[in-house]
Structure 1
Amino acid sequence: MYAALDIGGTKIAGALVDEEGRVVRRTQRPTPAHESARVLMGAVDAVLDGLAGDPAWGVIRGLGIASAGPVDTAKGTVSPVNIPAWRGFPLVDEVRAYPSLFAGLEPVLVGDAVAMAAAEHWKGAARDVGHALCMVVSTGVGGGLILNGRLHQGRSGNAGHIGHISVDLDGSLCPCGARGCVEGLASGSAIARQALASGWTPPRGEEATAAAVAAAAGQGDARALAAFDRAARALAAAVAATASLVEIEAVVVGGGVAQAGDLLFAPLRQHLDSYATLDFVRGLQVRPAALAQDAGLVGAAAAARASVRGLNSPGSACT
């Protein structure tokens, strides 16, 4: 049994995951993303409290942490773009100090999108693929790479961080400091902003979210459909660039925005035909993630599992 945390800009989730990659207990809290570092860590501790009350906690062999990035897996620190109070935050040290964690049990940190890639390669839509990009499109946009049948994390654990590829040289300033990033065009909040800018308004009493835009698009609202098309075009440009660099054969897309289904996937496939034009990237497969909202948790467990088994990376655990 493994414990797993998945920390993002919207929610902090925790789970107990068995050796077969099955989630046997799950708990979550909203992310107090604009609160202090200590308040944020309090939410993480509260999620751990929800897991520690389960009898299975007494037999966990490892604990994996998937966090929004950038991360530094060597230092055990995180600096999520959408969580301003955490800059170089020593997350691994903080989790290691959790009172109910067994002495000697070492938390393992991975980026959330890298965790998603590990999970999809282990148990999901990339299980049969040797070269793939796995993407999370949610509050932010992230990615992880499967190359030569193994997870490729890079030197600091951030390889595949596609959300901060610039696809608009004159675009808006991103919180990361660059301009025209994919995340600023294709994240859930970006979709909502674009729809609002075009004149769409959410139903009375509802917030302007990507889910609300998706509902309107499903009813044929042209402004909502255009917001999803713009996001899909940005994603297609970044995916095609990635495919040109590392010759992937498939892209797996998950996260909250991907729950919109064909509202996102249909224009994404259409725009890929325009951007991925070289012979060796043409015909790139686009697959929905199979593990939905639990991918980050399963991937974090895969990281812990790989560490316990003495393997070099979570990708080694995907067998």
Structure 2
Amino acid sequence: MQTDLVAALDIGGTKIAGGLVDGRGTILVRAQRPTPAQEDGDTVMRAVEEVIGELAASPLWGRARAIGIGSAGPVDASAGTVSPVNVPGWRGFPLVERVRAAAGDLPVTLIGDGVAITAAEHWQGAARGHDNALCMVVSTGVGGGLVLDGRLRPGPTGNAGHIGHISVDLDGDPCPCGSRGCVERLASGPNIARRALENGWRPGPDGDDSAVAVAAAARAGDPVAVASFERAAQALAAAIASAASLMEIDIAVIGGGVGTAGEVLFGPLRKILDEYATLSFVRRLTVVPARMGTDAGLVGAAAAVLAGGAAAAGV
């Protein structure tokens, strides 16, 4: 019986979550702080340290044998650094070193947040039983990860499958990453909301101008809101079809906040995907919502280190 635990961190542009996770993927202890994404690097790190401190205050902390981190990227697992596009204070930030110091020198494994979600979905979620899968997180940013030939494939720096920063609009808007027309610039939650506002959509009396509110308006039939989600769906479809053509994936799993929008997103996405995924060997491609919900990042970060990585590999 697995008695040791993994301390897991899920670091994104909106929140920093932590948990103590057992060998079955059950989160036994939780902690969370908002990400001070626009502050300097040390301020962001203090929020991470607060999460670690809250976990360390648990009586179960003594059973933690390692730490898994799923971070917004790009990450460099070989150097232990992160440079999240949506956290400008972290550029080449030595996250592994700082986390190890805060956690009493426990061993640390770093992967991108998209890879973490992929590990979770392949282990316990919508990609379970699929040998070739793309899993995406569509939220404040857009990330992803790959399972090929039945194994998680993070790549040499931990960024393989980082689909949010491939260009699907060659003359599109500049992206904070430095490129143009990236999937993230078209399909992330903030950009769905931005596009709707720019085209005349207005929030209700509560003033909520987030992508969640745009999704609600789209479900109610607001044409501007519908169009903003259709544009996001087109960007995702182009990226998914391209990935399928390159790597012969047979399923794409979409999670994150935007992924919870339901048929407002998945209806046009499946329709448009049929127009892009036309080659014979990608026509069987399916697109499904993620199943792991908001726990995916933590479970996947733990999966990367549990049982020597066997869980992450789907073993």
Band the TM-score falls in, shorter-chain normalisation: over 0.9
C-alpha distance in structure 2 between counterparts of 1:156 and 1:230, whole Å: 31
Partners of 2:84 and 2:94 in 1: CA distance: 12
Q: 1:141 is matched with which residue?
A: 142
Q: Distance in 2 between matches of 1:261 and 1:76?
A: 36
Alignment of 1:51-130 (within 5 A): 51-98=55-102, 101-103=103-105, 105-130=106-131
Structure 2 counterpart of 1:74, one-letter code? S
Distance 1:69 1:12 in 2: 14
Question: Identity over the aligned pairs, expressed in percent?
Answer: 62
Q: List gaps (5 residues or longer) in structure 2.
A: none
SS of the residue corresponding to residue 61 of structure 1 reads strand
Instruction: Confirm or deny: 8 A CA contact 2:300 2:312 kept in the other structure.
Output: no
Q: Is the 8 A contact 2:141 2:164 kept in 1?
A: yes
Quick check: 1:151–1:314 contact (8 Å CA) kept in 2?
no
Separation of aligned partners in 2, 1:291 and 1:315: 14
Q: In 2, are the aligned partners of 1:142 and 1:161 still within 8 Å (CA)?
A: yes
**Number of paired residues?**
311
Q: Deviations over 1:29-83 (max 9, x none)?
A: 1110000111100100111122112111111121100000000000000000000
Paired letter, 1:41 = M
Q: TM-score, normalised by structure 1?
A: 0.95
CA distance in 2, matches of 1:76, 1:87: 12
1:276-315 aligned at under 5 Å gives the runs 276-306=277-307, 309=308, 311=309, 315=312
CA deviation string 1:125-149 (max 9, x = no partner): 1111000000000000011000000
What is aligned with 2:21? Answer: 17
Post-superposition offset of 1:156: 1.1
Separation in structure 1 between the aligned mates of residue 130 and residue 198 of structure 2, nearest angstrom: 39
| Structure 1 residue 197 displacement after superposition | 1.2
How far the C-alpha of 1:271 sits from its partner, in A, is 0.6
Distance 1:21 1:282 in 2: 33
Q: Counterparts of 1:249 and 1:218 in 2: how far apart (Å)?
A: 29
Aligned to 1:203: 204
Question: One-letter code of the match for 1:165?
Answer: I
Give, in whole Å, the separation in 1 of the partners of 2:31 and 2:268: 34
CA contact (8 A) 1:152 1:315 kept: no
**8 Å Cα contact 2:186/2:231 also seen in 1:** yes
Equivalent-residue separation in structure 2 for 1:198 and 1:267 (angstroms): 19
Aligned to 2:151: 150
C-alpha displacement at 1:208, in angstroms? 1.4
**Superposed counterparts of 1:240-255, under 5 Å:** 240-255=241-256
Note the C-alpha offset of 1:314. Answer: 6.6
**SS in structure 1 at match of 2:44:** helix
Mark the runs of 5 or more structure 1 residues left unpaired by the alignment.
none
